[in-house]
Amino acid sequence: MSNFEEVSIIMALPHKKQYNHMVYKYYPFNNYTKDALFKSYLFFSKASRLNDPYDTSSMLLSDEFYEKLTSVYYKEGLTKQNQIEELKRIFNVMDDYGTCSFSKYRDNMHLWALYANSFSGIVIGFDEKKLNDLFQHNITRLMNVDYVEQWPPSFETDSFKRSFWVQQGDKSYKFRECFEGDHADQVMDYFFQYLCTVKGESWKEEQEVRLVAPNGFIKKLKNGKLSGVKGSAAGYNVPFLEDAVKEIIVGHNFNGKPKIIKKLAKKYGIKKIQTTSCTTPFKIDIVRHDELTNYVNR
């Protein structure tokens, strides 16, 4: 974005149909996918496991950010060594933030090719309102990814906005509020949540929305206060309610066993299985998969 005074998020592609109240997760059809879907959990990846080195990373933070923090700690009377330790503590916290990615669209050619293993995987359609119920686990509500042209902004004069998919407040915060006032720690957490949704324009084709596991989630998990949530070095398994799943779409190159799809469909109460169809150049249609649908319902 050329003007960073107010972060605005624009995701609609004019040539694609948007499916209201639904978001879509693209999966390769492997053992990890089967485990997640049969046990009904979403995997939130830590920053170190993402395929973009600038995704959810302290590498997004400018020298100005570091200088500002150092200045704050200097005023607080911290020694140079303690300043370094405090910086490490803050960025270690951010490195533990988790993200779980979805798209508004079920017919994205790029996502089917890359994340659904060249159309041999599957796409699961989730009810966005049900996913926002994960807020009870201190997961954020669905947030739009902000594809930016210019980075970094000025931490003295610019602001960021907490723009959720389901609007629960749209307040803007100056970047400098991360360091000033009684609520600086909370604003810092909001800032890190925002950084979890910042990506370069080269990724814009994915048209992504995200759930974020922020500092409050991490604290509760470490204190053993999140029932059913499992953490690992790679990320977090967070359970979702089965009625969150509304669609199952298989790629036209799917070579898994039909009985697996039948079990998934019965688990989530899905009566119609859909598939990709490539009959028009550069376009994906989603159509009824007659064979699998009949197999599921017999």
**Interval 250-275: pLDDT, tens:** 999 998 999 999 999 999 999 999 99
Question: With the C-alpha atoms ordered 179, 180, 186, 192, is the resulting torsion angle positive or negative?
Answer: negative
Q: Is the pLDDT of residue 218 over 80?
A: yes
Higher-pLDDT residue of 89, 8: 89
CA nearest to 166, candidates 143, 187, 134: 143
Counting beta carbons within 10 angstroms of the beta carbon of residue 10, is it exposed (0 to 12), middle (13 to 18) or buried (19 or more)? exposed
Domain edges within the chain: 22-297
Q: Is the pLDDT of residue 119 over 90?
A: yes
Q: Residue 185 has what pLDDT?
A: 77
pTM of the model: 0.84
Phi then psi dihedrals of residue 188, to 5 deg:
-60, -40
CA–CA distance, 102 with 138 (Å, rounded to integer): 18
Q: Residue 14 has what pLDDT?
A: 33
52-66, 81-95, 279-293: the lowest-pLDDT one: 52-66
Q: Residue 176 has what pLDDT?
A: 76
Please, how many CA atoms are within 13 Å of residue 273, restricted to the half-sphere of its CB?
A: 23
Q: Residue 164 has what pLDDT?
A: 55
Question: With the C-alpha atoms ordered 1, 94, 192, 82, is the resulting torsion angle positive or negative?
Answer: negative
Q: Is the pLDDT of residue 220 over 90?
A: yes
Higher-pLDDT residue of 189, 12: 189
User: Is residue 99 very low, low, confident or very high in pLDDT (cuts 50, 70, 90)?
Assistant: very high
176: DSSP letter: G
Question: With the C-alpha atoms ordered 58, 64, 70, 76, is the resulting torsion angle positive or negative?
Answer: negative
Chain centroid, CA 176 distance in Å: 26
Q: Is the pLDDT of residue 6 over 50?
A: no
User: Is residue 150 very low, low, confident or very high in pLDDT (cuts 50, 70, 90)?
Assistant: confident
Q: Residue 175 has what pLDDT?
A: 77
**Per-residue b/e over 24-63, b at no fewer than 16 CB within 10 Å?**
bbbbebeeebeebbeebbbbbbbbeebeeebbbbbebbee
104-108, 121-125, 183-187, 245-249: the lowest-pLDDT one: 183-187
